[in-house]
Structure 1
Amino acid sequence: MSKTILITGTSSGYGKATAKHFLLNGWNVIAAMRRPDLDAFDGESGRLRIVPLDVTDDQSIAALIEAAGSVDVLVNNAGIGGVGAFEAMPMSLIRQLIETNTIGVMAMCQAIIPQMRLRRSGAIVNVTSSVTLGEFPLAAAYTASKQAVEGFSGSLAHELGYFGVRVKLVEPGYAPTTRFGANAIVPVADLLPGEYAEFAGPILEAFAKPALTTRESDVAEAVWAAVHDTAGQLRFPAGSDAVALAEAR
């Protein structure tokens, strides 16, 4: 029988590409997104279910887990971006980053663990970012939200390994084709006081034209590799830029 994978944040970008990759390889896919778009996977297999999910809402998570039934793999991909000078970022926005990127991952894990523990099988893949491999300026709060997931996942991997449940990390680089910028909680320009203009200019120019980038398919393939790894590897950098950072580190 086909296995079932639940992926959060599938309306676009890495999440959508990962969902399509698993569908093409015969899996049942539960594609979760904040605002369900029935046209997001137009013409895809009947093995696909598109469902609503807000990872910051406990009731939304509980309803999804109950409706999902048996899940073999959870991929925590949902997240929001935040780029700008740290001193200019309101604490309300920092809390929003942590609530979505960090607490949301933890909440999804806590909701799915009981069934995997009882079966003594399953895998959880937490998608972070290449900022965990090489710290970048103008992304302090965002980096903190992703670094927290790295530490959490490393500890959880030991904790759940006793029950036969595997925990993995996929660390994507930057893909200009994704909606990361569109999903930023505040436009970058609004978080760059004039005093930062000289410092930030070259950084943002390099960010606009990166020497190395990540393709959406790179992330889908890294998730696939993570799901099927039984050798104990925890981290899976995805994309040429992420791999370069990992090697340098």
Structure 2
Amino acid sequence: MPTVLITGCSSGFGLETAKLFLEKGWKVVATMRRPTPDILPVSDHLTVLPLDVTDPASIRKAVEQIGDIDVLVNNAGFGAAVPVELIEPDTARELFETNTLGTLAMMQAVLPAFRERRGGTIINVTSTVTLKPLPLVSVYRASKAAVNALTESLAVEMEPFGVRVHIVLPGRSPETSFGNNALPHLRGLDNADYKPMIEGMIANFREESGPITHAVDVAAAVWRAATDPGAPLKIAAGEDAVQWMAEAEHWT
């Protein structure tokens, strides 16, 4: 029975992905900074562990406790929608420490075993905001674009060792806690120049009409990456994400 380790399972994409892999009969290790096992179905195949991707000791303890891992899904992360001019340095550092360096640390934790075994799959969940310049998410976008670049190069490095590496790119998803988690970092509503831009962004993100990404779309994309040896390096997740990826080559 294969084992998947998924970070950031407390809600949204990570939670739905853990549920799907459980339904498919996999052994699932669902990790969260503050574990809440009752949000997942009761299963002998489920292990819920505390894991903070910014804490090397937490990563090391979790990976040692799990043992053999077949698939790593790096989903943990957070967003912040702030004008570049106004973003707090601590917020910028936290975005990169969690989204970029946390992902890197998780990959480094499993790569030695994957390489020696000549097998394994790493799936990094980033965002379609990396495909097109957008206002107010510049630093968040940069942290996720860095993960894209890391993943692309890692795929080349790992190909000789039979290790597959993929990027899943979700679109806009009002179902997730992204918006709520971003609100504490929001700056600029008291600025006459930025206020209309910020209010428009908030309204757009909460709008549920039109093409959007559902958590089940992301879970399905991760499942494809984990189980299809022919899956592409980059997989769009969600109707809007598919459109963005198709149009990306025309954007400058």
Instruction: Please indicate the TM-score interval, normalised by the length of the shorter structure.
Output: over 0.9
Among all aligned residue pairs of Structure 1 and Structure 2, give the percentage whose two residues are the same amino acid: 46
Does the aligned pair in 1 maintain the 2:174–2:205 contact within 8 Å? Answer: no
| CA pair 130-57 structure 1, distance change in 2 beyond 3 A | same
Which deviates the most, 50-59 or 80-89? 80-89
1:51 equivalent in structure 2: 49
2:132 equivalent in structure 1: 134
| CA pair 3-96 structure 1, distance change in 2 beyond 3 A | same
Task: Output the CA distance in 2 between the equivalents of 1:130 and 1:162.
Answer: 29
Task: Output the CA distance in 2 between the equivalents of 1:179 and 1:142.
Answer: 15
Task: Output the CA distance in 2 between the equivalents of 1:72 and 1:172.
Answer: 23
Which of the numbers 104, 121, 128 marks the counterpart of 1:106? 104
Secondary structure, aligned partner of 1:167: strand
Task: Output the CA distance in 2 between the equivalents of 1:180 and 1:203.
Answer: 13
Task: Output the CA distance in 2 between the equivalents of 1:227 and 1:38.
Answer: 24
- Following superposition, the deviation at residue 131 of structure 1 comes to 0.5
Could you give the per-residue CA deviations for residues 102-161 of structure 1, whole angstroms, max 9, x where no partner exists? 000000000100111111000000000110122221100000000000000000001011
Matched, 1:116 2:122: no
Task: Output the CA distance in 1 between the equivalents of 2:57 and 2:38.
Answer: 25
- Following superposition, the deviation at residue 37 of structure 1 comes to 0.6
1:202 equivalent in structure 2: 200
Task: Output the CA distance in 2 between the equivalents of 1:76 and 1:161.
Answer: 19
Task: Output the CA distance in 1 between the equivalents of 2:170 and 2:148.
Answer: 13
Does the aligned pair in 2 maintain the 1:126–1:169 contact within 8 Å? Answer: yes
Which of the numbers 134, 138, 153 marks the counterpart of 2:151? 153
- Following superposition, the deviation at residue 235 of structure 1 comes to 0.1
1:184 equivalent in structure 2: 182
- Following superposition, the deviation at residue 185 of structure 1 comes to 6.8
Matched, 1:172 2:170: yes
Structure 1 letter corresponding to 2:136? L
| CA pair 185-152 structure 1, distance change in 2 beyond 3 A | farther
Secondary structure, aligned partner of 2:85: helix
1:65 equivalent in structure 2: 63
Does the aligned pair in 2 maintain the 1:81–1:185 contact within 8 Å? Answer: no
2:79 equivalent in structure 1: 81
Instruction: Give the root-mean-square deviation of aligned CA atoms.
Output: 1.4
Aligned length: 246
1:217 equivalent in structure 2: 216
TM-score by length of 2: 0.94
Task: Output the CA distance in 2 between the equivalents of 1:179 and 1:201.
Answer: 18
Provide structure 1 residue ranges, at least 5 long, that are not aligned to the other structure.
Answer: none
Could you give the per-residue CA deviations for residues 6-62 of structure 1, whole angstroms, max 9, x where no partner exists? 000001100000000000000000000000112121x43210000000000000011
1:243 equivalent in structure 2: 242
Task: Output the CA distance in 2 between the equivalents of 1:83 and 1:89.
Answer: 9
Which deviates the most, 198-207 or 226-235? 198-207
TM-score by length of 1: 0.95
